[in-house]
Amino acid sequence: MASSANSHPLPKLYKSVIEDVINDVRELFLDEGVDEQVLVELRTLWESKLLQSKAVEGFHNDEHQQVLQAQREPVQVQQPPQQNQNQQVIPPATQQVPQQQVIVQDSKILQHVNASGMSAAATAATLALPTGVGPYQQLVTSQGQVLQLMRVPNGTQYIIQPQQHVVLQQQVLSQMQPGGVQGPVIQQVLAPLPGGIPQQTGVIIQPQQIVISGNKVPPNTQVSTQSPTCVQPQAQQQPPVVQPPVMLQVDGTGDTSSEDEEEEEYDEDEEEDKEKDGGEDGQVEEESLNSEDDVSDEEDQELFDTENVVVCQYDKIHRSKNKWKFHLKDGIMNLNGRDYVFSKAIGDAEW
Partner 1 sequence: MAYQLYRNTTLGNSLQESLDELIQTQQITPQLALQVLLQFDKAINTALANRVRNRVNFRGSLNTYRFCDNVWTFVLNDVEFREVTDLVKVDKVKIVACDGKNTGSNATE
Q: Which of 8, 13, 85, 247 binds partner 1 (CB under 8 A)?
A: 13
- Dist. CA 145–CA 142, nearest whole Å: 7
The sign of the torsion formed by the CA atoms of 303, 305, 311, 315 equals negative
Q: Which of 2, 3, 24, 318 binds partner 1 (CB under 8 A)?
A: 24
User: Would you count residue 234 as binding partner 1 (CB under 8 A)?
Assistant: no
Q: Who contacts 94 (Cβ-Cβ below 8 Å, separation ≥6)?
A: 76, 77, 78, 79, 103, 104
User: Would you count residue 246 as binding partner 1 (CB under 8 A)?
Assistant: no
User: Would you count residue 349 as binding partner 1 (CB under 8 A)?
Assistant: yes
**C-beta closer to partner 1: residue 230 or 310:** 310
Q: Which of 34, 93, 146, 181 binds partner 1 (CB under 8 A)?
A: 34
**C-beta closer to partner 1: residue 8 or 108:** 8
The sign of the torsion formed by the CA atoms of 230, 234, 236, 242 equals negative
Q: Who contacts 215 (Cβ-Cβ below 8 Å, separation ≥6)?
A: none
Q: Who contacts 35 (Cβ-Cβ below 8 Å, separation ≥6)?
A: 29
- Give least dist CB 302 to partner 1, A: 11
Q: Give the binding range for partner 1 (CB under 8 A) out of 78-86, 133-141, 202-210, 327-335.
A: 327-335
CB 196 within 8 A of CB 115: no
φ, ψ of residue 269 in degrees (nearest 5): -65, -40
Q: Give the binding range for partner 1 (CB under 8 A) out of 12-20, 113-121, 124-132, 289-297.
A: 12-20
- Give least dist CB 46 to partner 1, A: 5
Site size for partner 1, by CB under 8 A? 58
DSSP codes, 205-264? --S-----SSSS---HHHHHHHHHHHHHHHHHHSGGGPPPSS----SS---HHHHHHHHH
In the three-class reduction of DSSP (H, G, I as helix; E, B as strand; rest coil), residue 88 is classed as coil
Q: Give the binding range for partner 1 (CB under 8 A) out of 23-31, 211-219, 266-274, 283-291.
A: 23-31
Alpha-carbon 319 to chain mean position? 51
User: Would you count residue 25 as binding partner 1 (CB under 8 A)?
Assistant: yes
User: Would you count residue 60 as binding partner 1 (CB under 8 A)?
Assistant: no
Cα–Cα–Cα angle for 179, 180, 183, nearest 5°?
140
**C-beta closer to partner 1: residue 248 or 335:** 335
Alpha-carbon 286 to chain mean position? 38
Which residues in the 306-325 window bind partner 1 by CB under 8 A? 307-315, 317, 324
Q: Give the binding range for partner 1 (CB under 8 A) out of 43-51, 84-92, 237-245, 293-301.
A: 43-51
- Give least dist CB 81 to partner 1, A: 16
Closest CA to 130 of 114, 106, 147, 162: 106
- Give least dist CB 19 to partner 1, A: 9
Q: Give the binding range for partner 1 (CB under 8 A) out of 50-58, 182-190, 192-200, 262-270.
A: 50-58
Q: Who contacts 96 (Cβ-Cβ below 8 Å, separation ≥6)?
A: 74, 75, 76, 103
Q: Give the binding range for partner 1 (CB under 8 A) out of 82-90, 97-105, 241-249, 328-336.
A: 328-336
Q: Give the binding range for partner 1 (CB under 8 A) out of 32-40, 158-166, 253-261, 293-301.
A: 32-40
CB 257 within 8 A of CB 264: no
Residue 126, amino acid: T
- Give least dist CB 346 to partner 1, A: 5
Q: Who contacts 253 (Cβ-Cβ below 8 Å, separation ≥6)?
A: 154, 156, 171, 187
User: Would you count residue 85 as binding partner 1 (CB under 8 A)?
Assistant: no
Instruction: Name the site residues for partner 1 (rule: CB under 8 A).
Output: 9, 13-14, 16-17, 20-21, 24-25, 28-29, 32, 34, 38, 41-42, 45-46, 49-50, 53, 55-56, 307-315, 317, 324, 326, 328-336, 338-351
